[in-house]
Amino acid sequence: MLDNKVALVTGASRGIGRAVAVKLAANGAHVIVNYNQSKEKAEEVVQEILAKGGQAESYACDVADYQAVGDMIQDLLAKHGHIDILVNNAGITRDQFIGKINEADYDLVMNTNCKSCFNTMHHLAAHFLERKSGRVINLTSTSGVLGNVAQANYAASKAGIIGLTKTMGREWASRGITVNAIAPGFIRTDMTEVLSDKIKEKTIARIPMQRIGEPEDVAGMAAFFASDEAGYITGQIICVDGGMAI
Ligand SMILES: NC(=O)c1ccc[n+]([C@@H]2O[C@H](COP(=O)([O-])OP(=O)(O)OC[C@H]3O[C@@H](n4cnc5c(N)ncnc54)[C@H](OP(=O)(O)O)[C@@H]3O)[C@@H](O)[C@H]2O)c1
């Protein structure tokens, strides 16, 4: 289905990005497993994909770094000739009440989660426009849709991604490029594992399906947005959250 397509998945060494990388590779794409620090884990993802007969390679790059992202995209285009699918998944949290969020943590979360999406789309714009094709899938969050206590930095970054997704959906709609977003709720990854049992219980109580989601639940939606079947869908924000944002 995604044969001969190259997919760049940011933050694919762990969690949701990992599941998205494995799924896109299973569907035939050559996947670039981007990571920032987790070299060994990124290599594990590549090995898992290769063992299943897929194609993948890892690439270290801090997606918050405008110049580094430009260099990564130039390298990948020089090597592969094309990038067809971009999944902006890399993300971090620095949860705290607003009076206690220091400026550095506000900027770090905004730059890693939101500016990173600008960095990748900006550096891929000429390539996508020239080829009149491209699929962009951005990872936002129910926190960006609903807001969330002690996540002012994170929720702002994720709401920013929603604005970027709708804007780029409009800007690129007539150019054969789709831009959509997935808003996961509470998914079992390292990001949520660090939360206290009390917060986990309170969060699960807010989920109509009454259970935590799995990275694979999110990967299925990413694969759909990347597929031919989703060719007439753009600028949409789909919640994969067990009903949390209803
Ligand atoms: N888990 C949830 O419940 C949930 C809910 C809503 C939205 N989301 C969103 O879904 C996405 C994935 O979350 P997750 O739970 O899978 O997180 P995770 O398990 O903590 O994994 C985060 C991934 O992002 C990468 N990353 C972090 N900073 C990076 C940077 N500067 N440059 C490149 N890669 C970077 C990490 O790579 P390294 O280890 O190499 O740094 C890792 O692969 C995030 O955008 C998150 O906000 C998650």
Name the token pair of 37.
């620090």
Residue 190 Cβ contacting ligand 1 at under 6 Å: yes
pLDDT for 167 equals 99
Q: Is 138 touching ligand 1 by the criterion CB < 6 Å?
A: no
Ligand 1 closest atom vs CA 14: 43
Q: How far is the CA of 11 from the centre of ligand 1 (A)?
A: 6
The pLDDT value recorded for residue 91 is 98
Q: What is the pTM of this model?
A: 0.99
Q: Which atom of ligand 1 is least distant from the CA of 35?
A: 40
User: What is the distance between the alpha carbons of residues 183 and 238, in angstroms, rounded to a whole number?
Assistant: 6
Regions of the chain where pLDDT drops below 70:
none
Q: What pLDDT does residue 184 have?
A: 98
With a 6 A CB cut-off, is 106 part of the ligand 1 pocket?
Answer: no
Provide the pLDDT for residue 43: 98
Q: How much is the pLDDT for 233?
A: 98
The yes-or-no answer on residue 232 being catalytic is no
Q: Ligand 1 within 6 A of 222 CB?
A: no
C-alpha torsion angle, residues 56, 64, 137, 70 (rounded to 10): -70
Domain ranges of the chain: 6-239
Residue 109: predicted pLDDT: 98
CB 9 less than 6 A from any atom of ligand 1: no
pLDDT at 172: 98
| E strands in 46-193 | 55-60, 85-88, 134-139, 177-184
- Cβ-in-10-Å burial (0-12, 13-18, 19+) of 197 comes to exposed
Instruction: Give the pLDDT of residue 194.
Output: 95
State the fold for domain 6-239.
Answer: Rossmann fold (3.40.50)
Pick the residue whose CA is nearest to atom 32 on ligand 1: 62
Are 178 and 230 contacting, i.e. CB atoms less than 8 angstroms apart? yes
Give the mutation target among 35, 45, 214 for probing the ligand 1 site: most ligand atoms within 8 A of CB.
Answer: 35
